[in-house]
Every structure is written in C-alpha cells, then in structure tokens.
C-alpha cells in the first residue's frame, strides 16, 4: 500500500484563511480472474479544508473537480476527469468523505498525476507518483498488498466501495492510535488453482512481530484454511487493545500440509497504545544518566506536573499528592518510570519529544498565573496535538474574544472543534467553553455565553462549567 498526503501539514498554529484542500491518497494493485491487472485508487477528503456553498436545494455542499491520469513516456494511457459532490452539511457538521476508482492497465511503469480542485474556492492541489505494475507469475502463489480498512459492512450493492460482498472504506495510514482496538485488513491470493495440490491442505497464518526481530508475539496468532479458487479474498480482524506502543510487522504466510512455505507477505505498521502508569514499586528504580542530568531538583516539579495532560484521569490525584509531598527523589523515579512505560524503546527520546511540545505550549499559552500546560489551550494542544485550523476573534465588540480550534482527525473522529473564550479580558487564559470531542466540556449554549459580554443577565461561565460526557 502506498499512502500520500497531498497538502503539507505544518505543525504550528495557523489561522483560517485560503487553505488548500487536504486530501489523502493511496492505491492498490489487484488482478482479475483472467490475471489482468488493475489499479484501485482511493481518496479521502478532509471536509474542514473545503469551502461549502449553498446548492440548488439551499443546503451547503462542497464540489471537487478530480483528474487522475496514468502516463507512460509522456503518453496518456488512462485518464478520468469528473466532479465529486460532498455530502450535504447538516448542523454545521459534515464528516470526511471518500472516493474510489479502478483503472484497467497493462504491466509496466507509470507516472500517475492527480489533481483536486475545490470548485467553490478555486484552490488546487496536485501530486505526481510513480506506480509499477508487475507481471503476475502463474508458477507461484502471489498476493496483493495488504489494505487496511477503517469500516467494513456486508453489502449486496455493487458499487466502487464493494468487493466480494463487502463494502469497505479504506484506512489511509499504517499508524493505529489508542482509540483503535483492532486492525481490519483485506488482501487477495492468486494462482492457487495452478499451484495447490489436491492431495494436500493449505493454510494462511497471520502473526505480529516487533520490527527488526524474527520472533512472533504470543496471543496474536491467527490462521485460515484455504481452498483453491481463481481469487481467494481474505478479510481479517486482529485485536490490538493490548499491543503496546512500538513499530511492528504483520506477517502473512501460506503453508501446505508438508509445512512448505509458499508465500510470505510482511506489512509494517505502527501502534500507539494508551499510556497507563501501572502501580509499581519505584523505590528500586535506577534512573538513567540522561534523565539524572536533565532533571534538577527544581525542574522535576515542573516536568512531573506537565505529564497531567497526557495522563489518565485516575493518575491526577496521585501526581498532585507527589507534588505536595515534595520528595524530589520519589518524583524523579516516578517521572523516569512513566517514560519507561510510555516509550519503552527509547524513554529519553520520548521525553525529549514531549518536552518540545511542553515548551511550545508554555510560549504560546502561558499566563502570569498559569503555566502553559495548565491552561485549557495548552492541555488540548498536548493531549491532541496542534489543530489544523484556528479561527481567532480577538477584537469583537458584541462577543468575548474567542478561538475555535478545528481538528480534521482525532483518532477515528472527524472534524472535532474546541471553543475557547476570554471572559475576563485580562489574563489571556482562554478557558474551554465547549467541544464536541467526547470526554471534554459540552455546552450547548456556548454561543449565548460568548454574547454575554454586552448583556446584563447572568455571569459569564468559567472553563469548568458545562456538562461532561464519557468516551
């Protein structure tokens, strides 16, 4: 699988403006029962990066002009140009949407040109990729690349998202964040009729191993018995809720009853699991020299406190008690243990990467009375990363100054928004007023709260007001 992002993600805060569409692209090469190759292209559109305008029904929608071109030696071999309409926007929200196309092509090397134009804004993004289609060898069992799937349902409808009776929405990365508890993937096996011996049995096995090792992890072994067919489709679901943070390989192998290996396919992927600080005896922890040099008796209070935005809520009280006790040796051991568990491959590197984000939050969001990570904006930045867009309204006359942060993706959720406001007009603290992200404040009256600046009724709400709801 190949995956590309057609617009550059800049990891800094930017204001809403004439942004280019944000589009994810990948492709897979498959073969028909007659061994004819075809390329399946997939696109995902971040709705928050597109301009929506009223259609003939008065509803808001985006309109995209998409051009896909396959070329060899500057000669056009296949081309498709079409207009794609987004789902209509309802209640100011629309999820990301998708498109898939299939191109029948011969074996060989191609230059693929992709152009996406937002017809409402006029903005265009373009990409150019090299694609090679190899000739299928009938003398051996072969398979397509593993395609990760984010949503799959049985379907009798024969459309461009349907394969072998299943409607599949592709997953456009090989990174699986904490809120993904399983990996769903699809692949196809070819040439079994030509290469399976009717006197033997065949099986496909699936394992996970750490990248750079040859030992399969226990508890992740799966297998499927195989029967010869022109194409053998395989859909598999692999639970990963207990898989720790790290880089891994999904290993698929095909064996016969003599234990001969007919095929091996290795697909890399990355996992980030939920950071949990398990109850451990930290009195016997030996701290690495790197941590000892960086953690002074004064700075350890700051750095331990900065863990709260990325810690589970049940750890909050424990951290507060440790900070109050002021045992610097205990704090250092706790801090070191935290990073050993959350970044076991390289604890010091994990801390240094997070430290950069903490310093960034301090610079942007720190106030005279609160450190950057203690503010709501700093906490959200550290917990979910930088937003894709910020609407900054600092000089309105009828509403308190406010910011709306928009995230294209947080885990499996699309188009999440966080509304911060500055009701005291002095501290620049900007507490969180409302968000549609589960686990954060939900305040359906947030618009009215912003407009209380010029009203006499009631007091403005603080950052802890509102109704909470669980994940």
- Identify the CA nearest to 430 among candidates 382, 386, 362, 366: 366
- Give me Rg for the CA atoms of the chain: 26
In terms of domains, do 110 and 172 share one?
A: no
In terms of domains, do 95 and 181 share one?
A: no
In terms of domains, do 398 and 371 share one?
A: yes
In terms of domains, do 117 and 196 share one?
A: no
Per-residue pLDDT reduced to its tens digit, 236-269: 999 998 888 888 999 999 999 999 999 999 999 9
pLDDT score, position 284: 60
Residue 193 in this model has a pLDDT that exceeds 50: yes
Please check whether residue 46 is in contact with residue 31, taking contact to mean a CB–CB distance below 8 angstroms.
no
Per-residue pLDDT reduced to its tens digit, 377-405: 999 999 988 887 888 888 766 788 999 99
In terms of domains, do 113 and 77 share one?
A: yes
In terms of domains, do 351 and 401 share one?
A: yes
Please check whether residue 6 is in contact with residue 125, taking contact to mean a CB–CB distance below 8 angstroms.
yes
In terms of domains, do 128 and 171 share one?
A: no
Per-residue pLDDT reduced to its tens digit, 37-68: 999 999 998 887 788 999 988 888 999 999 99
Tell me which of 178 and 162 has the higher pLDDT. 162
Tell me which of 281 and 468 has the higher pLDDT. 281
Q: Which domain holds residue 182?
A: 139-274
DSSP 8-state code for residue 7: S
In terms of domains, do 258 and 286 share one?
A: no
| CA distances, 51 to each of 54, 121, 254 (Å) | 10, 6, 48
Please check whether residue 433 is in contact with residue 420, taking contact to mean a CB–CB distance below 8 angstroms.
yes
User: 259: which residues sit within 8 A by CB, 6+ positions away?
Assistant: none
pLDDT score, position 399: 84
Count of structural domains within the chain: 3
How far is residue 236's CA from residue 226's CA, in Å, rounded to a whole number?
A: 14
Q: What is the mean pLDDT of residues 202-211?
A: 95
How far is residue 262's CA from residue 265's CA, in Å, rounded to a whole number?
A: 10
In terms of domains, do 240 and 295 share one?
A: no
Domain final position from 228, 255, 274: 274
In terms of domains, do 301 and 445 share one?
A: yes
In terms of domains, do 24 and 92 share one?
A: yes
How far is residue 402's CA from residue 394's CA, in Å, rounded to a whole number?
A: 6
Share of the chain above pLDDT 70, in %: 88
Q: How confident is the model at residue 282 (pLDDT cuts 50, 70, 90)?
A: low
In terms of domains, do 212 and 350 share one?
A: no
CATH of the domain at 11: 2.60.40.10
Identify the top-confidence range among 359-373, 405-419, 450-464. Answer: 359-373
The DSSP H or E segment spanning 447 is helix 446-450
pLDDT score, position 231: 95
CATH of the domain at 265: 2.60.40.3880
The separation between the first and the last C-alpha atoms of the chain, rounded to the nearest angstrom, is 31
Q: What is the mean pLDDT of residues 374-379?
A: 95
b/e sequence 323-355, b meaning 16+ C-beta within 10 Å: beeeebebbbbbbbbbbbbbbeeebbebbeebe
pLDDT score, position 345: 78
Cβ neighbour number for residue 271 with a 10 Å cutoff: 19
Domain final position from 103, 136, 169: 136
| CA distances, 106 to each of 89, 110, 406 (Å) | 40, 10, 43
Please check whether residue 458 is in contact with residue 452, taking contact to mean a CB–CB distance below 8 angstroms.
yes
Domain final position from 136, 163, 182: 136
Per-residue pLDDT reduced to its tens digit, 109-133: 999 999 999 999 999 999 999 999 9
Tell me which of 434 and 395 has the higher pLDDT. 434
What is the chain's mean pLDDT, rounded? 85
């Amino acid at each position: 699988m190949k995956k590309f992002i057609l617009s550059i993600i800049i990891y800094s805060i930017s204001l809403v403006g004439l942004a280019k569409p944000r589009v994810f692209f990948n492709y897979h090469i498959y073969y028909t029962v007659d061994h004819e190759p075809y390329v399946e292209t997939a696109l995902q559109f971040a709705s928050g990066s597109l301009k929506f305008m009223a259609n003939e029904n008065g509803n808001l929608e985006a309109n995209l002009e998409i051009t896909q071109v396959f070329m060899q030696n500057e000669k056009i071999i296949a081309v498709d140009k079409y207009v794609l309409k987004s789902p209509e926007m309802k209640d100011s929200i629309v999820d990301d949407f998708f498109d898939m196309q299939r191109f029948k092509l011969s074996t060989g090397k191609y230059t693929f040109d992709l152009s996406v134009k937002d017809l409402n804004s006029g903005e265009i993004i373009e990409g150019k990729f090299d694609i090679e289609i190899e000739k299928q060898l009938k003398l051996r069992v072969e398979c397509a690349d593993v395609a990760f799937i984010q949503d799959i349902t049985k379907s009798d409808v024969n459309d461009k998202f349907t394969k072998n009776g299943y409607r599949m929405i592709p997953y456009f990365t090989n990174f699986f964040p904490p809120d993904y508890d399983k990996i769903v993937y699809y692949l196809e096996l070819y040439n079994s009729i030509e290469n399976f011996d009717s006197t033997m049995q065949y099986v496909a096995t699936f394992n996970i191993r750490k990248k750079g090792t040859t030992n399969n992890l226990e508890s992740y072994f799966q297998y499927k018995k195989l029967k010869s067919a022109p194409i053998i489709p395989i859909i598999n679901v692999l639970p990963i809720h207990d898989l720790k943070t790290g880089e891994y390989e999904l290993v698929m192998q095909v064996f016969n009853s003599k234990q001969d290996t007919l095929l091996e396919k290795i697909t890399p992927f990355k996992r980030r699991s939920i950071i949990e600080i398990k109850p451990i005896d930290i009195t016997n922890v030996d701290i690495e020299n790197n941590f000892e040099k960086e953690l002074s008796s004064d700075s350890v209070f700051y750095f331990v406190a900065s863990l709260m935005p990325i810690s589970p809520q049940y750890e909050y009280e424990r951290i507060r008690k440790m900070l109050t006790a002021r045992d610097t040796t205990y704090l250092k051991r706790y801090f070191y243990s935290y990073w050993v568990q959350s970044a076991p491959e390289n604890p010091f590197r994990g801390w240094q990467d997070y430290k950069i984000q903490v310093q960034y939050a301090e610079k942007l969001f720190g106030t005279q009375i609160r450190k950057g990570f203690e503010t709501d904006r700093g906490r959200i930045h550290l917990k979910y990363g930088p937003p894709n867009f910020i609407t900054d309204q600092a000089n309105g006359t009828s509403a308190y100054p406010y910011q709306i942060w928009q995230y294209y993706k947080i885990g499996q959720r699309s188009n999440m928004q966080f509304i911060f406001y500055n009701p005291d007009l002095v501290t620049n603290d900007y507490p969180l007023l409302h968000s549609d992200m589960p686990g954060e404040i939900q305040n359906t009256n947030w618009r009215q709260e912003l407009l209380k600046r010029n009203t006499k009724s009631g007091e403005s709400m603080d950052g802890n007001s509102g109704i909470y709801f669980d994940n």
